[in-house]
Amino acid sequence: MEPGNHTQIPELILLGLSEEAELQPVLFGLFLSMYLVTFTGNLLIILAISTDSHLHTPMYFFLANLSFSDICFTSTTVPKMLMNIQMPTKVITYEDCITQMFFFHGFVALDNFLLTVTAYDQFVAICHPLHYTVIMNPRFCGLLLLASWLLTLLDSLIHALMVLRLSFCTELEISHFFCELNQVIQLACSDTSLNDLVLYFATGLLVVIPFSGILFSYMKIVSSILKISSAEGKYKAFSTCGSHLSVVSLFYGTALGVYLSSAAIENSRATAIASVNPFIYSLRNKDIKQALRKLFS
């Protein structure tokens, strides 16, 4: 390719996790096993919830969707990464890069919304137990899920269209194992100030508002639990939301680690850990474990 700016880019190079040849089989085995655990675990959660009528409640409805989101989330990046480890040239076409970026960014945002919705579900269950079935009715749950999907698609579409308007230079190496939005924008030769503004605004909006909603829900939950007179009642209430709180902490903790760390291998580990969130939640959930036993029996 001749030096200069290009609107149409034939391919980009994903530098991946490490260029050391002796590490490639280790990385391949490590991330293949992580991906298989994530995929299988989340698939089992979906099957358990869909086949057990006792789990047809709002909480498990959102958990099943969170599991589906995380299957898609890891499937947009890890298979391509595993393929590139085995290939001498670690390339991705411009079209595939935009597609990967669209879906990865979208499913991360969807995870964020679903965790917020499940926090609200916990809030209603603990703070307004007598009105729970009225408030969290199937129609309202469907609307919450639909709103989460629509906001996710709108956000991803805006970012993808903003990238498509850019022109790129000949230096097309991405120091990651997938097309991360911010790194793709940095490759552009044209002015990216509008892209940066939209990225910062959308990230602030889609992180600060949901996270504030989660914090508000748990402030109300803790306040209600402290008002319970019996120790047994407090323990039961805390155990109800404890698993979800650990998942929320893990998700935001690993997400923060991804953006604070510059090392691609640390980012990939954080991504892999975040994608196992629903599986970790389910291992601490008695009803899910019983449903899994029924599924296997």
Round to whole Å and give the CA distance between 131 and 16: 51
Instruction: Per-residue pLDDT tens, the chain, 297 aa: give them.
Output: 444 444 456 677 777 665 666 777 887 888 888 888 888 888 888 888 888 888 888 888 988 898 898 889 888 888 888 888 887 777 888 888 889 989 988 988 898 899 899 889 988 988 888 899 999 999 999 999 999 999 999 999 999 999 888 888 776 777 777 888 888 888 888 888 888 888 888 877 888 888 888 889 888 888 888 877 777 777 776 766 766 676 676 666 666 555 555 444 445 445 544 544 555 555 556 666 676 677 776
Domain ranges in the chain? Answer: 11-296
Look at domain 11-296 and name its CATH class: mainly alpha
User: Which amino acid is it at 228?
Assistant: I
Q: What is the pTM of this model?
A: 0.80
Between the alpha carbon of residue 99 and those of residues 91, 213, 241, the distances in Å are: 14, 30, 36
User: Which amino acid is it at 248?
Assistant: V
User: Residue 234, SS3?
Assistant: helix
The closest of 126, 130, 70, 92 to 272, measured between CA atoms, is 70
Query: How many CB atoms neighbour CB 17 within 10 A?
Result: 23
Structure tokens at 91: 């390339």
Return the pLDDT at 4.
44
| Angle formed by the axes of helices 78-86 and 24-51, nearest 10° | 150
DSSP bridge partners of 92: 12
Tokens 């230096």 -> residue = 171
Structure tokens at 50: 């869909």
SS3 content of the chain, % helix, strand, coil (to 5): 75, 5, 20
